[in-house]
């Protein structure tokens, strides 16, 4: 996905791009974070991505659908805001949304609902929302904007994907990114020139205690890193083999093979072929 208009938040961008390439975007997201973290920017980009009619990377920002979403006038994107002092969405508003959701889209393939202050909804409004998340029409997508995802019922959260956002340049996020970049570099070094034992140790560190999703993000970065090294590599054949293995590894992660079992396999793959 083309999400460069969102500042920082690399992790969420990677998560969404990968999802789009893989099983496709989800029908419900919680965009959580403080003001200034880019929740509305991302909500707009996601809505545009869902309605974009371009064949290339989405949202293209050029097609009529993208234009309408970005100007806030697309008939298939609705922004639901609460009224009153707390600006809380009421159960009646959710019911109205529910009937609206069953009317087919006007011009796009999907209908997108943005819910402001979703974490402020009271339990009955959230329960009404829950029904919609569970049984709503396939074309409907819901973007729940929240300060704190913890304010939503567990049942609602479990039916949405969470996109935690941070104001750009937040140290923890930068540090996270730096640490990951360093790990990828160490792993690429090991693949490029380490001996068998050293490579095994490094790949065990690389795979240790990670979720499948985190691991495949790392593998993506690793593949890019290896790709940039091939041109100047001393042992080009070895690097090409590494790239091939990383690709296979990614497939294995997709099939839910445990990340920790993969380090031994990676080593064996490198050294039996060379």
Where along the sequence are the contacts to Zn ion (CB under 5 A)?
52, 54, 59-60, 63, 66
Residue linked to tokens 């008939």 = 75
27 or 68, CB closer to Zn ion?
68
2 or 157, CB closer to Zn ion?
2
Contact residues for 91 (Cβ-Cβ < 8 A; gap 6+): 122, 124, 125, 128
DSSP character at residue 209: T
CB of 125 to Zn ion, least distance (A): 33
The closest of 147, 109, 82 to 27, measured between CA atoms, is: 109
CB of 25 to Zn ion, least distance (A): 14
Dihedral of CA atoms 80, 91, 156, 20 in degrees, nearest 10, equals: -30
Please name every residue paired with 163 in a beta bridge, in sequence order, or none if there are none. Answer: 31
67 or 137, CB closer to Zn ion?
67
Q: Check if the beta carbon of residue 169 is closer than 8 Å to that of residue 139.
A: no
67 or 167, CB closer to Zn ion?
67
CB of 64 to Zn ion, least distance (A): 8
CB of 15 to Zn ion, least distance (A): 21
30 or 48, CB closer to Zn ion?
48
CB atoms inside a 10 Å sphere around CB 15:
19
CB atoms inside a 10 Å sphere around CB 16:
23
> Could you tell me the two tokens for 181?
């970049």
Rounded to a whole number of angstroms, the distance between the first and last alpha carbons of the chain is: 37
70 or 153, CB closer to Zn ion?
70
Q: Check if the beta carbon of residue 7 is closer than 8 Å to that of residue 23.
A: no
The CA-CA-CA angle for residues 209, 1, 35, to 5°, reads: 75
CB of 72 to Zn ion, least distance (A): 15
CB of 163 to Zn ion, least distance (A): 21
> Could you tell me the two tokens for 190?
């090991």
CB of 224 to Zn ion, least distance (A): 26
> Could you tell me the two tokens for 272?
């039996």
Tallying the residues shown for the chain, one arrives at 274
65 or 121, CB closer to Zn ion?
65
């Amino acid at each position: 996905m083309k999400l460069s208009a969102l500042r920082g938040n690399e992790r969420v961008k990677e998560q969404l791009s990968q999802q789009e390439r893989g099983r496709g975007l989800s029908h419900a997201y919680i965009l959580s974070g403080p003001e200034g973290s880019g929740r509305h920017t991302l909500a707009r980009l996601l809505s545009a991505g869902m309605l974009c009619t371009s064949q290339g990377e989405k949202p293209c920002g050029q097609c009529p659908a993208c234009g309408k979403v970005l100007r806030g006038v697309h008939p298939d994107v609705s922004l639901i805001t609460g009224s009153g002092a707390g600006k809380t969405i009421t159960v009646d508003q959710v019911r109205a949304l529910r009937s609206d959701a069953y009317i087919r889209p006007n011009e796009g393939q999907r209908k997108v609902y943005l819910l402001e202050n979703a974490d402020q909804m009271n339990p009955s409004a959230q329960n009404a929302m829950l029904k919609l998340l569970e049984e709503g029409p396939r074309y409907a997508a819901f973007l729940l904007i929240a300060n704190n995802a913890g304010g939503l019922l567990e049942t609602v959260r479990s039916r949405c994907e969470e996109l935690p956002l941070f104001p750009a340049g937040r140290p923890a996020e930068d540090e996270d990114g730096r640490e990951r970049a360093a790990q990828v570099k160490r792993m690429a070094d090991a693949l490029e020139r380490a001996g068998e034992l050293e490579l095994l140790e490094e790949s065990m560190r690389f795979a240790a205690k990670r979720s499948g999703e985190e691991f495949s993000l790392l593998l993506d970065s690793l593949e890019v890193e290896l790709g940039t090294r091939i041109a100047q590599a001393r042992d080009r054949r070895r690097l090409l083999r590494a790239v091939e293995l990383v690709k296979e590894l990614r497939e294995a992660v997709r099939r839910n093979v445990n990340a920790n079992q993969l380090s031994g396999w990676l080593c064996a793959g490198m050294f039996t072929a060379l």
